[in-house]
Structure 1
Amino acid sequence: MNIPKLLIIKISHTIIWLFFNVVIFYILYTAIFNKIDIWVWIGVGLVFMEGLVLLAFKMFCPLTVMARKYSDSTKDNFDIFLPNWLAKHNKLIYTSIFAVAILILAYRILQA
């Protein structure tokens, strides 16, 4: 069975995207409900590491760079199973949610 490389990248990219969604919304949930634990800090670290990776790759996911070898598509979702509008605005949407979570988290810490 020969699975196309672009399909493998799209599946992997989508799974990683889902993982980071869970992490970001977990951080937001725990900050809102003041249920801060060690997993929050691990999640914050993971999201910051992802940010550093994006900075290192000029704001592109390394999987996007890899997928570019297998597609000439100009769509924003050529490398991930997301609607095009979400793929296009993904960084803005989730950075904003993460920033709100961090602000609430900072408030909780300073309140303690």
Structure 2
Amino acid sequence: MPAGTAHSRARALTAVRAAHTAIWAFFASSIVLIPIATLRGELIAALWMSLFVWGEVLVLLLNRMRCPLTNVAARYTEDRADNFDIWLPRWLARHNQRIFGTLFAASQLLLGHALLSD
């Protein structure tokens, strides 16, 4: 952990957790909205959301399936609970990639079908 007071480390961890949670919310909501947009025929919107999520997938792949913010948060705490770096329930943080990866894969199949059928 970097030098500094416990208060300054706590503030830094809070900032990282806030950013991580906001970014997660953007991608999670995109994954949920892709099939809704697809079923409504809003294929351009679904494609844009998919591209954003694919960008996040690339970031995760380049970082051994870990969000880079996890490493940043680890600098400010010894805690390594599943949700130490994000404001999510522990069970969701633990299964996040499995849940949203499955939903994203399904949304891509649906979107692919819609694009090919259009």
TM-score for both structures, normalised by structure 2: 0.86
User: Is 2:23 the counterpart of 1:16?
Assistant: yes
Query: Which 4+ stretches in 1 moved above 2 angstroms?
Result: 32-35
Q: Distance in 2 between matches of 1:92 and 1:49?
A: 18
Structural RMSD (CA): 1.7
User: Is 2:110 the counterpart of 1:104?
Assistant: yes
Who wins on radius of gyration, i.e. which is larger?
2
Q: Which segments of 5 or more consecutive residues in structure 2 lack a partner in the other structure? A: 1-7
Q: Which moved more, 1:7-16 or 1:41-50?
A: 41-50
Query: How many residues in Structure 1 have an aligned counterpart in Structure 2?
Result: 111
Q: Please name the residue that 1:70 is paired with.
A: 76
Give the aligned residue type for 1:95.
Answer: G
Offset from partner CA, 1:76-99 (integer Å, 9 cap, x none):
100000000000000111111111
Q: Distance in 1 between matches of 2:39 and 2:47?
A: 15
Residue number among 75, 88, 95 corresponding to 2:101 in the alignment: 95
Is the contact between residue 10 and residue 76 of structure 2 (CA under 8 Å) also seen in structure 1? no
Is the contact between residue 18 and residue 87 of structure 2 (CA under 8 Å) also seen in structure 1? yes
Q: Which segments of 5 or more consecutive residues in structure 1 lack a partner in the other structure? A: none
Q: Distance in 2 between matches of 1:60 and 1:93?
A: 15
